[in-house]
A and B are shown apart, each in its own frame.
Chain A
Amino acid sequence: MAERFKIAIVGSGPAGKSAAAHAAELGVAHVLFEAEAHLSNTIYRYQKGKHVMDEPGILPLRSPLNFKAGSRESILDAWNQGVKNLAVNIKFRHEVAKIQKKDDYFAITCSNGSTFEAERVVLGIGLQGNLRKVGVPGEDLPFVQYQLDDPDAYSGETIVVIGAGDAAIENAIALAKQNTVIVINRRDEFARAKEGNLRGILKAIEEGTIECYYNTAPELIEALSVGRKRGRMTLQTPSGRAQILIDRVIARLGASAPRTFVEACGVVFPSKDPAAVPAISPRYESNVPGLYIVGALAGYPLIKQAMNQGFEVVEYILGRNVEPADEPLLRNKFKTMPGFRSVNEAIALVQKNVPLLAQITPLQLREFLIDSEILSPAPGARVFERNDYTNSFFSIVAGEVQVIVERDSNQAITLRQGEFFGEMGLISGRRRTASVVAGKGCVLIETPRRSMSRLLQSVEAVKREIDKVFIARAIQSRFTPDSGMEKLRDVVESARVEHFKAGDIVFNEGEIGDCLHMIRRGSLTISRNIGGKEIVLSYVAAGNYVGEMALLGDSRRSATARAAIATETIRLEGDAFKQLIKRDPILRLRLQSEYSQRTAANLSMQQMQGGGDIISFLISQGAGEATDILLIDESLCIRCDNCEKACAETHGGTSRLDREAGPTFANVHVPTSCRHCEHPHCMKDCPPDAIHRAPNGEVFIADNCIGCGNCERNCPYGVIHMASKPPKKPGLLSWLLLGQGPGPGEAPYDASKPKSTAAKKAVKCDMCKDLSGGPACVRSCPTGAAIRIGPEEFPAYSKARS
């Protein structure tokens, strides 16, 4: 007779464990099945020492087990302890093979033959599934691994990493510190990788620390009994077969999701899409009554959420109603809304009034609102000012706002309930282009850029909607701010967003011009072939347009436009635009005057000798996306490093500037120092959201940095590094008179001193925003070699130097 339980939980990940722990503390008959010999296999298999985060930070945890951000080891220890204390009934090495629904119970069969019965089943099996093998002879040799537990355990080996996903990249980069790493990539790019990882691997390949064979597949793996290497791998490469001698193979080829198993239990998936998750009710019940799904399999990959769901599902099974964990948070936010009665009602109202937010499920909306603020500004209150550096997104739930487009005439556009504003900050990273004032009965949802970006990336419909409105507004504000949207309908219809990688050509000199490009994000260089050389004439930033000359008169492109950095443009079709110009003579006059200004500027640039070269050099170093970059004139720089010393001394002992590193051209040296990018790469993926932009434009890292290193990996210029606060050192006089301490500047690395155990945080230049007088590096340069300028001054700068 099989054992019968009230609740059977499959999988001891955060969700399953939490459910089992709660059932244990309530005294409910339960069993937790785990296929491995330890808890939470996915987290168990994380890299040694990996920092695990506990997002979302403000969400309360309602599980009997503890969970706080920390190392993999500390989290696993806390869970093991908690599970032992509550005497949870765990059956290790019990892989569930089949779940069959009988009349009023479920029959559970394990792969080791044992059978069990349960009234309710909770599936917390996550998405790990079965690891894919290499698929060639030799895939089971002892030196072929499918997991990497501790990258530091191997050193001096030749290791082949097969795979192009995040796991493969992270493993390759970690191993490359002490080993020779070769990456085998089936395709010619790392398409699925997170941006930080993509940047890291491409940089490593470029520097030569990792070798990568694209469009290559393994053919055979053999063990060797002679020679210094353990094995030999045969590869199929585009240029034929090749052999390499290796010590180890690490294959990170992903896993096949446990879809077959789940479907065999009777659960229906909404589509054939491999990324689809089964539909569940708000109480986590699947289409099979009594079968519940929680955690990553239900579409909630975050640990804290999964733990909360484990707790809640047991409550629901026992017939109790439990308020969602985020309810008190949301109630607090909605309090200020006039006429507020309950959170559910308020959410329904938001979805009714704002079509944009109606595209997402109520659960997604709740998550979205946790990150946002609900504002009810009084009529006349300023929501934000023109040229502000804020970048949050606003949805209008009720009432209206006035967008003041023309400062002098106070001309304004009214936006009403259901519309949105502030979207420019999402896309172009530039300052606010207009001031916004609240109207009557105004209720707004203010969402920070990061949460909005997340939403845009996950829900296609929202992205499309925002893009459409953005394009129309961008065209209107740039070309016809006085007239309404109707005139622009043809142009807007024909508008398309185009993407360019750094270095791509937007159009070539001499081509027939049939369109105009408005730069939505990024920047372009305009160059012309003069006397056989490509001379850069000017640099065009986001918010401006190129290509109008061909539409106004000359039909051929007078110069080549090339993307300086990753750029997005809105392409407007020539014919529709020409019609618009014909209908609007004022527009034509304005375009013509801008055209003649630009031609004059280009001509003067052409006549400068070598001026364009300096701009090209600066752009190639990525100065195009800077807002303020440090440049050193090497004919004045006496290499005294006073700039570095000043930086260290004004910032607690760690220098954020590396003067020597960095390229030089025509005596212009670009040191390794933060450029305070217009669209900061470091901000892209900061989990505690510690990187901000100050009102004067400085990008700085606040104190709540957790030291995860994402910003360091994401920065393409290597200006961020991890450092712990150095110990206090003897003062200047003690150093001068008694020789104590390392003296001013960053203390040089002392291998004999014990390694500091203090946590390392990210440090980078903050343009001395807290010091009066401005950047210490510039002020402390004795010869005037160091200056800080923005890209707008590049033409004047190169003119002065040629």
Chain B
Amino acid sequence: MHESIFNHAGLRYLWVSLTLLTGSVVAYLWHDPIGVPNGGTWLGYTLGTIAALLILWLMWFGIRKRRYSSSMGTLRGWLSAHIYLGTALLLIGLLHSGFQLGFNIHTLTLLLMFIVIFSGFFGVYAYVRFPSLMTRNRDSASRQAIIDEIHDIDQNSLVFADAVDPKIHATILRSIGRTRLGGGVRALLFPRDDSDSALDQVREYLDKRDAERRPGAQTRDMPTMFAMVDFLAASGGADNKNVQLRKLMDLLARKKSLSGRLSRDLQLQALMEIWLYVHVPLSFALLAALSAHVVSVFFYW
């Protein structure tokens, strides 16, 4: 019942693009111009006009997307057409040029067109692959719920650290201060995590204490309680600290897993959006280059 952009209306725009492409290729192969095939032959002009109109129509998508009450088709239909016809544009542009390339404004236009279309390919790849990855990574938690839980863990780990040692408290505090989730483009796309170092330091401390402990001492098992009730006052004894440390490590491990999930979630969403920052500005550059290309061809021939 959910139709994807590729299947929209029974692959309608796939057929449209294929027809257009086949027509262009057949015409190109049949056409025998004087000299080499280039943009200046009648076929070249025809294909060039088609390509230019296509480029303008493809850019109009940005406007249709923001006309929220428009009932001219659905946005999905427009995107389906945008993708198929945009792909077809690749070949049409090449055929129009007759593969006559050089260091000039005309080839620049073609190059920009290529970059825009290939960035679009990345977008398609991102749209096909990343949504399911995001859902799987989220595992039924919402972003806010993960952030809230990380907050809670931070508070609780400080409480535990308090009960153990000022050095451990300092370690935890520093680790909390250095936790960065999200941020600028670099931080989103290449997330880093500091939970490992905190975890290692605590583990070291625990191992040291274990080594110093008298052999034969008993450890008491205490149930985990995350409550308002101040249970620390009720308990006592050195063994208590080991139990606190283990709980602290549990907390840190959980925090590491949560912040990893959150970073991945943000990274995937960033990836799904970053390509548009290439696709759209460059398409405007393409528009400018296209205008220069057309004007120069007709006036500076």
B1 x A796 contact (CB < 8 A): yes
Shortest beta-carbon distance from A86 to chain B in Å? 55
Known: A784-B76, A785-B2, A787-B1. A634 touches B68 (CB 8 A): no
13 further interface pairs, Cβ-Cβ under 8 Å (given A635-B131, A636-B2, A642-B65): A634-B132, A634-B135, A637-B131, A638-B130, A638-B272, A639-B134, A660-B142, A744-B68, A781-B74, A783-B5, A784-B76, A789-B1, A796-B1
A776 located at the interface, meaning its Cβ lies under 8 Å from any Cβ of chain B in the complex = yes
Of A462-470, A492-500, A645-653, A718-726, the one touching chain B: A645-653
B140 located at the interface, meaning its Cβ lies under 8 Å from any Cβ of chain A in the complex = yes
CA distance A793 to B2 in the complex (A): 13
Select from chain B the residue with minimum beta-carbon distance to A634.
B135
Shortest beta-carbon distance from B265 to chain A in Å? 10
Residues of A within 8 A of B134 (CB): 634, 639
The interface bits of chain B over 2-41 (1 if a CB of A lies within 8 angstroms of the residue's CB, else 0) are 1111001000000000000000000000000000000000
A797 x B1 contact (CB < 8 A): yes
Residues of B within 8 A of A784 (CB): 2-5, 8, 76
Select from chain A the residue with minimum beta-carbon distance to B79.
A782
Residues of A within 8 A of B186 (CB): none
Residues of B within 8 A of A650 (CB): 68-69
A413 located at the interface, meaning its Cβ lies under 8 Å from any Cβ of chain B in the complex = no
CB-based closest 6 A-B pairs:
A773-B71, A646-B68, A633-B2, A649-B68, A784-B76, A634-B135
CA distance A639 to B5 in the complex (A): 15
CA distance A635 to B134 in the complex (A): 9
Of A387-395, A474-482, A512-520, A661-669, the one touching chain B: A661-669
B68 x A783 contact (CB < 8 A): no
Residues of B within 8 A of A642 (CB): 65, 75
Q: Chain A CB within 10 Å — which of B2, B140, B228, B269 has the most?
A: B2
B151 located at the interface, meaning its Cβ lies under 8 Å from any Cβ of chain A in the complex = no
Selected from B68, B135, B140, B272, the residue in CB contact (under 8 A) with A776 is B68
A-side residues, CB < 8 A to B, are 180, 633-639, 642, 645-646, 649-650, 660-661, 663-665, 667, 669, 732, 744, 771-773, 776, 778-785, 787, 789, 793, 796-797, 800-801
CA distance A771 to B67 in the complex (A): 13
Residues of A within 8 A of B5 (CB): 782-784
Residues of B within 8 A of A665 (CB): 140
B66 located at the interface, meaning its Cβ lies under 8 Å from any Cβ of chain A in the complex = yes
Residues of B within 8 A of A660 (CB): 142-143
Q: Chain A CB within 10 Å — which of B65, B130, B272 has the most?
A: B65
Can you offer 10 A-B residue contacts whose CB atoms are under 8 A? A633-B2, A635-B132, A639-B269, A639-B272, A664-B135, A773-B69, A776-B69, A782-B79, A784-B2, A785-B2
Residues of B within 8 A of A (CB-CB), count: 30
A771 x B69 contact (CB < 8 A): yes
Residues of A within 8 A of B131 (CB): 634-639, 785
Residues of B within 8 A of A638 (CB): 126-127, 130-131, 272
CA distance A782 to B126 in the complex (A): 14
Residues of A within 8 A of B272 (CB): 638-639
A667 x B142 contact (CB < 8 A): no
B254 located at the interface, meaning its Cβ lies under 8 Å from any Cβ of chain A in the complex = no
A732 x B66 contact (CB < 8 A): yes
B169 located at the interface, meaning its Cβ lies under 8 Å from any Cβ of chain A in the complex = no
Residues of A within 8 A of B293 (CB): none
Select from chain A the residue with minimum beta-carbon distance to B135.
A634
Shortest beta-carbon distance from A648 to chain B in Å? 8
Shortest beta-carbon distance from A140 to chain B in Å? 27
Select from chain A the residue with minimum beta-carbon distance to B72.
A773
Residues of B within 8 A of A180 (CB): 228
CA distance A664 to B139 in the complex (A): 9
Select from chain B the residue with minimum beta-carbon distance to A647.
B68
B261 located at the interface, meaning its Cβ lies under 8 Å from any Cβ of chain A in the complex = no
Residues of A within 8 A of B180 (CB): none
CA distance A525 to B232 in the complex (A): 49
CA distance A779 to B74 in the complex (A): 5
Residues of A within 8 A of B4 (CB): 636, 783-784
B138 located at the interface, meaning its Cβ lies under 8 Å from any Cβ of chain A in the complex = yes
The interface bits of chain B over 73-88 (1 if a CB of A lies within 8 angstroms of the residue's CB, else 0) are 0111011000000000
Select from chain B the residue with minimum beta-carbon distance to A663.
B140
CA distance A636 to B127 in the complex (A): 7
Shortest beta-carbon distance from A260 to chain B in Å? 44
CA distance A800 to B140 in the complex (A): 22
CA distance A663 to B135 in the complex (A): 11
Residues of B within 8 A of A778 (CB): 74
Residues of A within 8 A of B68 (CB): 645-646, 649-650, 744, 776, 780
Residues of A within 8 A of B8 (CB): 784
The interface bits of chain B over 188-203 (1 if a CB of A lies within 8 angstroms of the residue's CB, else 0) are 0000000000000000
Select from chain B the residue with minimum beta-carbon distance to A633.
B2
Residues of B within 8 A of A635 (CB): 131-132, 135
B2 x A780 contact (CB < 8 A): no
Shortest beta-carbon distance from A619 to chain B in Å? 17
Known: A667-B135, A781-B75. A649 touches B3 (CB 8 A): no
Shortest beta-carbon distance from B199 to chain A in Å? 28
CA distance A317 to B219 in the complex (A): 86
Known: A634-B131, A661-B142, A771-B69. A781 touches B76 (CB 8 A): yes
CA distance A176 to B239 in the complex (A): 39
CA distance A667 to B130 in the complex (A): 13
Shortest beta-carbon distance from B3 to chain A in Å? 5
The interface bits of chain B over 136-157 (1 if a CB of A lies within 8 angstroms of the residue's CB, else 0) are 0010101100000000000000
B1 x A664 contact (CB < 8 A): no
Select from chain A the residue with minimum beta-carbon distance to B273.
A640
Shortest beta-carbon distance from A742 to chain B in Å? 14
Select from chain A the residue with minimum beta-carbon distance to B77.
A784
Residues of B within 8 A of A634 (CB): 131-132, 134-135
A780 x B269 contact (CB < 8 A): no
Residues of A within 8 A of B69 (CB): 649-650, 771, 773, 776
Select from chain B the residue with minimum beta-carbon distance to A648.
B68
Shortest beta-carbon distance from B174 to chain A in Å? 29
CA distance A793 to B1 in the complex (A): 10
Residues of A within 8 A of B127 (CB): 638, 783
Residues of A within 8 A of B75 (CB): 642, 779-782
CA distance A639 to B271 in the complex (A): 12
Selected from B65, B76, B228, the residue in CB contact (under 8 A) with A783 is B76
Residues of B within 8 A of A796 (CB): 1
Q: Chain A CB within 10 Å — which of B66, B130, B138, B143 has the most?
A: B66
Shortest beta-carbon distance from A372 to chain B in Å? 39
A664 x B138 contact (CB < 8 A): yes
Selected from B2, B76, B130, B228, the residue in CB contact (under 8 A) with A782 is B76
Residues of A within 8 A of B2 (CB): 633, 636, 784-785, 787
Select from chain B the residue with minimum beta-carbon distance to A211.
B228
Residues of A within 8 A of B1 (CB): 787, 789, 793, 796-797, 800-801
Residues of B within 8 A of A797 (CB): 1
A664 x B76 contact (CB < 8 A): no
CA distance A634 to B265 in the complex (A): 13
Residues of B within 8 A of A800 (CB): 1
Residues of A within 8 A of B143 (CB): 660
CA distance A785 to B65 in the complex (A): 15
Shortest beta-carbon distance from B130 to chain A in Å? 8
Shortest beta-carbon distance from B274 to chain A in Å? 13
Shortest beta-carbon distance from A522 to chain B in Å? 26
Select from chain B the residue with minimum beta-carbon distance to A666.
B135
CA distance A669 to B131 in the complex (A): 12
CA distance A797 to B135 in the complex (A): 20
Residues facing A in B84-135 (CB within 8 A) are 126-127, 130-132, 134-135
CA distance A770 to B69 in the complex (A): 11
CA distance A781 to B71 in the complex (A): 13
Shortest beta-carbon distance from B13 to chain A in Å? 13
Shortest beta-carbon distance from B229 to chain A in Å? 9
Shortest beta-carbon distance from A608 to chain B in Å? 15
CA distance A463 to B8 in the complex (A): 53
Residues of A within 8 A of B132 (CB): 634-635, 667
